[in-house]
Structure 1
């Protein structure tokens, strides 16, 4: 019986904190630009860091902000690089 009270307290505390985390995640949700995922799909997705960014997602953000060149991605194949350049030019030329 001595173990049931602390176990019930911990279970209740876990439940309350779980609900709190759920509410906070919905209140402070930040919607990302869907273009980031589109550009990441066109990258090789090795997350190697050879471009100077920690991963392909950060490289995509840099490309969309026109802070990097497509050829900064070292493992990208030539035809994929051309496709990515064409995609960026068509969809984000006015930004």
Structure 2
């Protein structure tokens, strides 16, 4: 019985260490462009652009599948700011 408990502790420690190493080795930096673009859009979620809300348009803009002119309620200075952001 005590051998089984010790074995489970050892297996748990080994798997925990393996997960910790895998977290460091396979870490992927998150893409913050979609969040940044969503913040720059007006936030009306009207769907006038043909995408499901501002987050959908932001994802399409980040992927290069849409143009900022698709957002009808956005003002021209906001569109220019988004174009400038995407040019970087």
Given the two structures, how large is their TM-score scaled by the length of structure 1? 0.59
Write the distance in 2 (CA, Å) between the matches of 1:78 and 1:35: 20
- Unpaired segments of 5 or more residues in structure 2? 1-28
Which runs of at least 4 in structure 1 moved beyond 3 Å after TM superposition?
A: none
**3-state secondary structure, aligned to 2:47:** coil
What is the TM-score when the length of structure 2 is the normalising length?
Answer: 0.64
Gaps of 5+ in 1: 1-30, 91-95
Calculate the aligned-residue CA RMSD, in Å.
1.5
Q: Number of matched residues?
A: 60
Give CA-to-partner distance per residue, 1:15-73, whole Å, 9 cap, x none. Answer: xxxxxxxxxxxxxxxx9632211110111111000000111001000001111000000
